[in-house]
């Protein structure tokens, strides 16, 4: 650990949500003297909305974070109360874990990890101002005391100018019952950052004792759940079920009749109605033909009777929320313990960041998490770990790391939000990923290993490489029928009908465990489909190699559309690959751009 | 030779639908001077003194001042030309052979053969093409010949684009369903049954194949097809050419081995341009000249897309006939059983039995019997049974056709996976590729469209 005065740090992380926790841990674990500043010691790694982690796209993200040495996967494995493998009706490449965690325990376990982390100080304090301090930054708190940090990670989630609302009421708040942050966004605006406004909604919670589970469907957990972390196995714990009910005709009519009492109509808001995760009032008005809307009744923890009504996101006033619930099967007598509400908050327009999550404007200031316009704990944690690793590297004046699109979901996430921007909270989905058969759950470790090597975990990376060499060798030997005639076996794998005997033959011949076997089977089953993606990755790499000169004048290029020039000037992409993914940039513009760059370099060569 | 952007370049371009006219296009500093060297006209006016965008009539001559062809010259001076350079277009009307010779003369006089797309590349590099011609430019640069470039440029704006957009929309509709069921497995979605989606994909694939077929037929109508009349000596090949051409084009005598060098003619049958060749009768011969002729006949057979094999109904089938049939394996053939005005020694049935060939038409080239039937047969073989009206069809260019072929292949792959009830990610992978391929035709591709589709169609939450 560096020798620094007490209030001076290599890295300071502001905000102890999912992004902040991963950032602080990654930085401290990388050896930087790190401070994690939180508004309250009692609100660390909270799960204010749905307490589920994982699912399509997000489950893969958790695995990638785990492979990078992050905490979210391990913490879920410690605190889950219901876990299921999703997409089992699909092929093995798309299967992914989704777990519901015990909210209180999740918080407690994460706090313990933070408290016991070497190099890391966890302190309460509301940062109001960031100032330049030589080549460092001075973080001034509301009480005017301050910290000095070389690198800063801002991970303040939805707290910047947070406002909550239900019905016609609105209140300044980060979340229900928590203070928001007003001064920091003002300070950031003063030093040149631009913000937009986003919105999301939460559902009401009800008392378990008042729910009638008899006539509604049960959704069972998996008896033998798969863990998120590569290091963990099922510990035999008891799990809880979910239940499923529906909003049907009578209730829909009631909602339609009371539509005007939703904040959407009562309060003027700057943000757009989100298409994804819309409120129940929005769903009902947008999908008039739907006869029913599904509601999950999920436990919030083992030590509480509160149940979370997933699907019932709303900004209705409390009386209407009660009216809705009374009209839902199983909830006729249910008592609301806390009503749902909407949140509107400032987000940083993410185009102001580089793909290492560092600000384009200020060296050593990083932004991570929901502040960048994303939604979801997994998305936040993913940015947190990248920002944390990089802040730490920068604190040692070392070169930063980054993940590209072709590396995995985290790369896709960062590339998407920075280059495409967001108009509503960005959530990861497998459909966003053009390499989704290759970017899987099972191979997250090898995909992230190049980063491990860069941050000094050579040994761990070598172990991972060995594992995949073994799988690759088995694969090529099977294809060559080296040990047995495998033609039929390959066909059986493709048709999902490989016999137990043959499974054992393969496992024994190549000395594979179940996870390795699974990866091998996927390689065989998806062969040509995977090859397509891998070919595309190669093509991608050549595009990313094509660098755009820093001093390029886009105005000078003939025939590039106005929208494209606007985007290009705004984002200053570093490579042709990035340029091609900007909004408003069409293939033709790229073509002109490439021609221009080539021509320019030809001419400069001629003149030399 | 070192290629440079300052070279004067030349290439042949043939106007679509007018196979008989050849155009040689020149672009670059030397194009005017060069043309003056090979062009002669009565009033001896210099091309360099012509007004831009004007035409003049005269002859192209070779070194010995012998006339190659009569031509019309169009001059487009820089910078108001296609390439922003001096451009000369030589329109000759002697067909491809004359065009070839003229191009050769241009090269001899200092031009270089243009690379595919080079005219357009220059237009682009010289800053003439603007965004409205955008997508056409990409086409142009990707296309192989200057020719298909033109078609692409015309097509890309209009009907082809609309049609492709419609096909993409249909693929997108299927993708939206497949993707929704992967990403929102937990939601209570009302997704369309897999079998229905499979049917939709089959329909889309059919529509794409139709476009491909129309392209093939459109190509024939625009550029014609090569036909060879073959057979052993004296069966009436030259007579047949003459009756089809409605003029005495080839020499006819009763002496076997009359035709030595092949005789070419362009004629229209039912609106289809045929580049038809009457060839030397095929037999084993010791005569050197005849041998060369026979060798040429075989070359014509391999070059042509349709072969008309003539047999003499008044004589016995012999080894020569058999050998020729052997040679024609894998070709489109029509057999003309000629001289039916004389005594029938060989019958249609016999030929059918012996060679297992079906398209046999009885004719008399001399008495003009059965020729109308032959013409009908040619048409149906080339364009198919149904009426084909090129005006009412969407004709894609060669590059677009190749993309459509790839897309069709992808859809077939998807259909196979769906038939096997493989899960959604398999056909989805194929469909996305097909979707992106079609996007290459119109110049746009994004994944956001799929997501917008899902959000627009389904009611999905966290
Ligand atoms: N009666 C009759 N005589 C024909 C017919 N077609 C061609 N002939 C005669 O057959 C002889 C040969 O005709 P060509 O047209 O020169 O035959 P070819 O196949 O071109 O012969 P080569 O060029 O020598 O291979 C001529 O005397 C023609 O008049 C026909 O339909 N009926
Ligand atoms: Mg003849």
Name the nearest CA neighbour of A450 among A440, A439, A458, A441.
A458
Domain contains A69: no
A residues 380-419 near B, CB within 8 Å?
none
pLDDT at B14 over 80: no
**Selection from A328, A370, A41, A270 nearest residue A178 by Cα:** A41
- Whether the pLDDT of residue B21 is over 90: the answer is no
In a domain, A405, yes or no: yes
Phi, psi of A460 (to 5 degrees): -60, -45
Q: Are B228 and B331 in contact (CB under 8 A)?
A: no
Q: Which atom of ligand 1 is nearest to the CA of B367?
A: 31
Final residue before a domain boundary, out of A540, A556, A574: A540
Q: Distance (Å, rounded) from C-alpha A490 to C-alpha A496?
A: 10
- Contacts for B285-291 with beta carbons within 8 Å, 24 or more apart? B285/B257, B287/B257, B289/B260, B290/B257, B290/B260
Among chain A residues, CA nearest to B180: A431
Question: Is residue B354 scored above 50 in pLDDT?
Answer: yes
Q: According to the model, what pLDDT value does residue A289 have? A: 85
* Alpha carbons B248 and B121: distance in angstroms, whole number: 46
Q: How far apart are CA B291 and CA B298, in angstroms?
A: 11
d(CA B10, CA B306): 32
Closest atom of ligand 1 to CA, residue B235: 19
The closest CB to that of B129, out of A93, A495, A559, belongs to A559
Residue of A nearest to B446 (CA): A581
CA distance linking residue B20 with residue B91, whole number of Å: 11
Mutate to test the pocket of ligand 1, among B229, B234, B314 (most ligand atoms within 8 A of CB): B234
The pLDDT tens digits for A264-309 are 888 877 777 777 778 899 888 888 888 999 999 999 999 999 999 9
Contact yes or no for A378/A60 (Cβ under 8 A): no
* Cα B239 to middle of ligand 1, angstroms: 6
Q: Which residues contact residue B356 at a Cβ distance below 8 angstroms, ignoring those fewer than 6 apart?
A: none
Atom 32 (ligand 1) nearest CA: B339
Asked if residue B221 has pLDDT above 80, the reply is no
Q: How many residues does chain B have?
A: 462
Alpha carbons A430 and A412: distance in angstroms, whole number: 10
Which pLDDT does position B79 carry in this prediction? 84
Give the integer Cα–Cα distance in Å for B179 and B282: 63
Residue whose token pair is 């631009």:
A194
Q: Is the CB of B412 inside a 6 Å radius of any atom of ligand 1?
A: no
| Most A-contacting residue of B140, B187, B459 (CB-CB within 10 A), to test interface | B459
Rounded-to-integer distance, Cα A507 and Cα A526, Å? 19
Lowest mean pLDDT segment, chosen from A55-64, A71-80, A179-188, B385-394: B385-394
Rounded to whole angstroms, how far apart are CA atoms A259 and A261? 5
Q: Which residue has the tokens 């790839």?
A: B406
Task: Name which residue sits closest to atom 11 of ligand 1, judged by CA.
Answer: B254
- Work out the pLDDT band at B41, boundaries 50, 70, 90: confident
Residue of B nearest to A581 (CA): B446
pLDDT for the residue B135: 41
pLDDT at position A132 over 90: yes
- Residue B89 above 80 pLDDT? yes
> pLDDT by residue (tens digit) across A461-517?
999 999 999 999 999 999 888 788 888 889 999 888 889 999 999 999 999 999 999
In this complex, do B137 and A588 lie within 8 Å of one another by their Cβ atoms?
yes
pLDDT confidence of residue B15: 46
Q: Chain B closest CA to A436's CA: distance in Å?
A: 9
- For chain A, the average pLDDT equals 90
Q: Cα angle at A327 between A254 and A203, to 5 degrees? A: 85
Using the 3D structure, point to which of A540, A574, A592 is the last residue of a domain: A540
Residues A263 and A340 in one domain: yes
Q: What is the 3-state secondary structure (H, E, C) of A509-554?
A: HHCCCHHHHHHHHHHHHCHHHHHHHHHHHHHHHHHHHCECCCCCCH
- Pocket of ligand 1, candidates B343, B363, B366: which has the most ligand atoms within 8 Å of its Cβ, to mutate? B366
Q: What is the pLDDT of residue B224?
A: 79
CA B69 / ligand 2 centre spacing (Å) = 27
Is A72 among the domain residues?
no
Segment B113-136 shows an average pLDDT of: 58
Q: Which residues contact B306 (CB under 8 A, 6 or more apart)?
A: B225, B226, B227, B228, B331, B332, B333, B334, B378, B381, B382
Within this chain, do residues A222 and A323 fall inside the same structural domain, yes or no?
Answer: yes
Alpha carbon of B176 to those of B179, B181, B396: distances in Å? 5, 9, 27
Q: Which helix (H) or strand (E) holds A387?
A: helix A377-395
- Pairing mode of beta strands A96-101, A80-86: antiparallel
B397 CA to middle of ligand 2, Å?
A: 38
pLDDT for residue B446 is more than 80: no
Residue A191 has a CB neighbour count (10 Å cut-off) of 14
Q: Which domains can be identified in chain B, with CATH numbers? A: 9-114 (3.30.1360.120), 146-219+397-455 (1.20.120.430), 224-383 (3.40.50.300)
The token pair that represents B267 in the structure block: 């004629």
Strand boundaries in B365-447, DSSP class E: none
Read off the pLDDT band of B341 (50, 70, 90).
Answer: very high
pLDDT computed for residue A90 by the predictor:
87
Ligand 1 atom nearest residue B241's Cα: 15
Give residue A327's pLDDT. Answer: 96
Residue B20: the pLDDT is 58
Global pTM value: 0.75
Burial of residue B319 (CB within 10 Å: 0-12, 13-18, 19+) is exposed
Structural domain that includes position A286? 205-344
Co-location of A158 and A235 in the same domain = no
Tokens read off for B275: 């580049």
User: Mind listing the pLDDT tens digit for each residue in B232-252?
Assistant: 999 999 999 999 988 888 889
Interface contact flag, B425 A294, Cβ < 8 Å: no
Q: Which residues pair with A3 in a beta bridge?
A: none
Beta strands (DSSP E) in A320-390 are 336-338, 342-348, 365-367
State how many domains chain A has.
Answer: 4
- Distance of alpha carbon B280 from alpha carbon B66, whole angstroms: 29
What letter would DSSP give residue B236?
A: S
Q: Would the pLDDT of A179 be above 90?
A: no
Which DSSP string do the residues of B254-309 spell out, in sequence order? SSTT---S-EEEEEEETTEEEEEEE-PPP-----HHHHHHHHHHHHHHHH-SEEEE
Residue A39 and residue A159 in one domain: yes
pLDDT for the residue numbered A244:
96
- Residues A168, A153 within the same domain: yes
Exposure string over A244-256, b if 16+ CB within 10 A, otherwise e: bbbbeeebbebbe
| Same domain (yes/no): A511, A490 | yes
Instruction: For chain B, give the percent of residues with pLDDT over 90.
Output: 40
Contact A294, A309 (CB under 8 A): no
The reply to whether A496 falls in a domain is yes
* Residue range B247-268: mean pLDDT, rounded: 86
SS3 B122: helix
- Structural domain includes residue A66: no
Whether A100 is covered by a domain: the verdict is no
Per DSSP, helices labelled H in A399-497 are 409-420, 444-454, 458-479, 487-494
Q: What is the CATH number of the domain that holds A556?
A: 1.10.150.570
The reply to whether A552 and A509 lie within a common domain is no
Enter the tokens of residue A173.
């708040």
Where does B93-152 show beta strands of DSSP type E? 112-113
What is the three-class DSSP state of B164? helix
Q: How many CA atoms lie within 13 A of A304 on its CB side?
A: 17
B363 contacts B341 by C-beta, under 8 angstroms: no
pLDDT value of position B391 = 53
- With CB atoms and an 8 Å threshold, state whether B425 touches A283: no
Confidence grade of residue B84 (pLDDT, cut at 50, 70, 90): confident
Considering only the beta carbons, identify the residue of B127, B141, B182 that sits closest to A430: B182
Distance CA A468, CA A516 (A): 8
pLDDT-derived band at A381 (thresholds 50, 70, 90) equals very high
- Shared domain for A36 and A150, answered yes or no, is yes
Which one is predicted more confidently, A596 or B34?
B34
The pLDDT, as a whole number, for residue B397 is 66
When computed from its CA atoms, the radius of gyration of chain A, rounded to whole angstroms, is: 25
Write out pLDDT tens, residues A95-131: 999 999 999 999 999 999 999 999 999 999 999 999 9
Residue pair B298/B277 in contact by the 8 Å Cβ criterion: no
- Confirm or reject: Cβ of B320 under 6 Å from ligand 1: no
Ligand sitting nearest the alpha carbon of B294? 1
User: Based on the domain organization, do A163 and A113 belong to the same domain?
Assistant: yes
Q: Whose CA is nearest to atom 7 of ligand 1?
A: B236
From the CA of B363, give the closest atom in ligand 1. Answer: 31
Q: Is the pLDDT of residue B81 over 90?
A: no
pLDDT at A269: 76
The domain boundary residue, chosen from A485, A518, A540: A540
Residue nearest ligand 1's atom 26 by CA: B254
**Which of A467-471, B67-71, B291-295 tops mean pLDDT?**
A467-471
Q: Which residue of B has its CA nearest to A313?
A: B461
A579 and A559 share a domain? Answer: yes
Tell me, what CATH number does A308's domain have? 2.40.30.260
What is the C-alpha separation between B281 and B324, in angstroms, rounded? 10
Q: Report if residue A466 sits inside a domain.
A: yes
User: Sorting pLDDT into bands at 50, 70 and 90, what band is A546?
Assistant: confident
pLDDT tens digit string along B151-186? Answer: 444 554 456 778 888 999 999 999 999 999 898 888
Ligand 2 centre from B324 Cα, in Å? 16
CATH number, residue A394 = 3.50.50.60
Instruction: Pick A275's closest partner by Cβ from B124, B429, B455.
Output: B455
Question: Which ranges constitute the DSSP H helices of A80-120?
Answer: 103-115
Query: Å from A274 to nearest chain B CA?
Result: 10
Q: Which residues of A touch B456 (CB under 8 A)?
A: 275
Residue A449 maps to a domain: no
Judged against a pLDDT cut of 70, whether residue B92 lies above it is answered with: yes
pLDDT given for residue B447 in this prediction: 47
In whole angstroms, give the CA distance from residue B302 to residue B299. 5
Mean pLDDT of chain B: 82
Asked if A402 and A494 sit in the same domain, the reply is: no
Say yes or no: CB of residue B408 within 6 Å of ligand 1.
no
Residue to mutate (ligand 1; options B232, B252, B290, B297; most atoms within 8 A of CB): B252
Helices and strands of chain B, counted as H and E runs: 15, 13
pLDDT at B445 > cutoff 60: no
Pocket test for ligand 1, best of B238, B241, B342 (most atoms within 8 A of CB): B238
Per-residue pLDDT at A529: 93
State whether A298 and A258 are in the same domain. yes
Can you give the pLDDT at residue A286? 85
Question: Residue B73 belongs to what H/E stretch?
Answer: strand B67-76
Q: How many angstroms separate the CA atoms of B416 and B400, rounded?
A: 24
């Amino acid at each position: 650990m560096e020798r620094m005065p007490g209030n001076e740090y290599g890295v300071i992380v502001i905000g102890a949500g999912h992004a902040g926790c991963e950032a602080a841990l990654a930085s401290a674990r990388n050896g930087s003297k790190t401070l994690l500043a939180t508004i309250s010691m009692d609100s660390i790694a909270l799960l204010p909305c749905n307490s589920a982690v994982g699912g399509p796209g997000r489950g893969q993200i958790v695995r990638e974070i785990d492979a990078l040495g992050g905490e979210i996967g391990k913490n879920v494995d410690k605190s889950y109360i219901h876990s299921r493998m999703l997409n089992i009706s699909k092929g093995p490449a798309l299967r992914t874990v989704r777990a519901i965690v015990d909210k209180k325990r999740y918080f407690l376990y994460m706090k313990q990890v933070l408290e016991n982390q070497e190099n890391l100080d966890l302190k309460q304090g509301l940062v109001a101002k960031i100032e330049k301090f030589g080549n460092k930054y001075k973080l001034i708190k509301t009480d005017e005391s301050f910290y000095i940090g070389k690198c800063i990670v801002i991970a303040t989630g939805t707290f910047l100018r947070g406002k909550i609302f239900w019905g016609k009421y609105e209140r300044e708040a980060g979340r229900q019952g928590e203070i928001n942050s007003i001064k920091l966004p003002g300070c950031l605006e003063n030093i040149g950052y631009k913000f937009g406004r986003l919105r999301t909604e939460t559902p009401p919670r009800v008392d378990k004792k008042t729910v009638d589970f008899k006539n509604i469907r049960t959704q069972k957990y998996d008896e033998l759940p798969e863990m998120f972390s590569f290091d963990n196995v099922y510990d035999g714990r008891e799990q809880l079920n979910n239940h499923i009910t529906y909003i049907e005709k009578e209730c829909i009519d009631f909602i339609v009749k009371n539509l005007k009492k939703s904040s959407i109509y009562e309060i003027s808001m700057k943000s757009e109605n989100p298409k994804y995760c819309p409120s129940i009032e929005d769903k009902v008005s947008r999908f008039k033909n739907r006869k029913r809307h599904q509601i999950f009744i999920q436990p919030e923890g083992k030590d509480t009777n509160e149940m979370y009504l997933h699907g019932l996101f709303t900004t209705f006033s409390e009386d209407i929320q009660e009216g809705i619930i009374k009209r839902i099967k199983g909830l006729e007598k249910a008592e609301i313990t806390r009503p749902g509400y909407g949140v509107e908050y400032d987000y940083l327009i993410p185009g102001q960041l580089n793909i290492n999550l560092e600000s384009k404007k200020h060296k050593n200031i990083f932004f991570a998490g929901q502040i960048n316009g994303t939604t979801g704990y997994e998305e936040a944690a993913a940015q947190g770990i990248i920002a944390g690793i990089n802040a730490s590297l920068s604190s040692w004046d070392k070169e930063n790391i980054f993940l590209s699109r072709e590396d995995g979901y985290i790369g896709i996430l960062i590339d998407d939000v920075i280059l495409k921007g967001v108009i509503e909270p960005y959530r990861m989905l497998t459909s966003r990923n053009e390499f989704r058969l290759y970017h899987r759950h099972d191979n997250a470790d090898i995909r992230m290993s190049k980063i491990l090597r860069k941050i000094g975990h050579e040994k761990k990376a070598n172990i991972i490489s060995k594992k995949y060499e073994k799988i690759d060798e088995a694969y090529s030997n099977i294809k060559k029928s080296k040990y047995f005639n495998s033609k039929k076996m390959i066909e059986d794998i493709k048709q999902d009908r490989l016999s137990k005997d043959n499974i054992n033959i393969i496992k024994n011949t190549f000395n594979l465990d179940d996870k390795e076997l699974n990866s091998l089977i996927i390689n065989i089953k998806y062969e040509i489909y995977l090859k397509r993606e891998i070919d595309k990755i190669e093509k991608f790499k050549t595009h990313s190699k094509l660098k755009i000169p820093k001093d390029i004048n886009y105005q000078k290029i003939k025939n590039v559309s106005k929208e494209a020039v606007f985007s290009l000037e705004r984002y200053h992409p570093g490579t042709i690959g990035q340029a091609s993914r900007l909004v408003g940039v069409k293939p033709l513009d790229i073509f002109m751009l490439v021609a221009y760059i080539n021509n320019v370099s030809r001419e400069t060569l001629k003149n030399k | 030779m070192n290629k440079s952007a300052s070279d004067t370049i030349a290439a042949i371009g043939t106007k679509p639908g007018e196979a008989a006219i050849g155009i040689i296009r020149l672009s670059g500093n030397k194009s005017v001077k060069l043309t003056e060297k090979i062009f002669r006209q009565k009033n001896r006016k210099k091309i360099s003194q012509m007004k831009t965008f004007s035409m003049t009539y005269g002859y192209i001559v070779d070194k010995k001042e012998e006339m190659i062809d009569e031509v019309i010259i169009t001059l487009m001076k820089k910078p108001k030309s296609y390439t922003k350079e001096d451009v000369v277009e030589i329109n000759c009307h002697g067909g491809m052979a004359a065009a070839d010779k003229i191009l050769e003369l241009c090269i001899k006089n200092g031009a270089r053969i243009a690379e595919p797309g080079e005219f357009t590349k220059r237009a682009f590099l010289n800053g003439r093409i603007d965004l409205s011609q955008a997508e056409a430019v990409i086409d142009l640069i990707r296309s192989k010949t200057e020719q298909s470039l033109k078609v692409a440029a015309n097509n890309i704006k209009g009907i082809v684009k609309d049609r492709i957009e419609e096909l993409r929309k249909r693929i997108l509709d299927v993708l939206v369903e497949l993707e929704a069921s992967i990403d929102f497995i937990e939601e209570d979605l009302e997704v369309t049954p897999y079998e229905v989606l499979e049917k939709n994909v089959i329909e889309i694939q059919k529509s794409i194949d139709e476009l491909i077929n129309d392209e093939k037929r459109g190509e024939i109508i625009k550029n014609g097809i090569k036909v060879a009349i073959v057979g052993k000596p004296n069966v009436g090949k030259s007579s047949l050419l003459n009756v089809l051409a409605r003029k005495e084009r080839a020499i006819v005598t009763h002496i076997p081995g009359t035709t030595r060098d092949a005789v070419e003619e362009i004629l229209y049958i039912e609106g289809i341009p045929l580049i038809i060749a009457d060839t030397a009768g095929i037999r084993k011969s010791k005569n050197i000249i005849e041998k060369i002729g026979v060798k040429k006949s075989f070359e014509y057979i391999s070059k042509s897309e349709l072969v008309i094999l003539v047999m003499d109904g008044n004589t016995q089938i012999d080894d020569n006939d058999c050998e020729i049939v052997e040679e024609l394996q894998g070709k489109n053939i029509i057999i003309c059983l000629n001289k039916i005005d004389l005594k029938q020694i060989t019958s249609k049935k016999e030929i059918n039995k012996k060679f297992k060939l079906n398209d046999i038409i009885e004719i008399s080239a001399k008495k003009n019997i059965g020729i109308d039937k032959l013409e009908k047969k040619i048409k149906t073989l080339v364009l198919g049974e149904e009426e084909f009206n090129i005006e009412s069809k969407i004709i894609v260019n060669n590059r677009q056709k190749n993309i459509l072929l790839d897309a069709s292949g992808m859809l077939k792959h998807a259909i196979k996976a769906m038939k096997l009830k493989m899960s959604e990610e398999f056909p989805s992978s194929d469909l996305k590729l097909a979707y992106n391929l079609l996007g290459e035709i119109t110049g746009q591709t994004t994944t956001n469209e799929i997501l917008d589709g899902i959000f627009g169609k389904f009611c999905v939450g966290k």
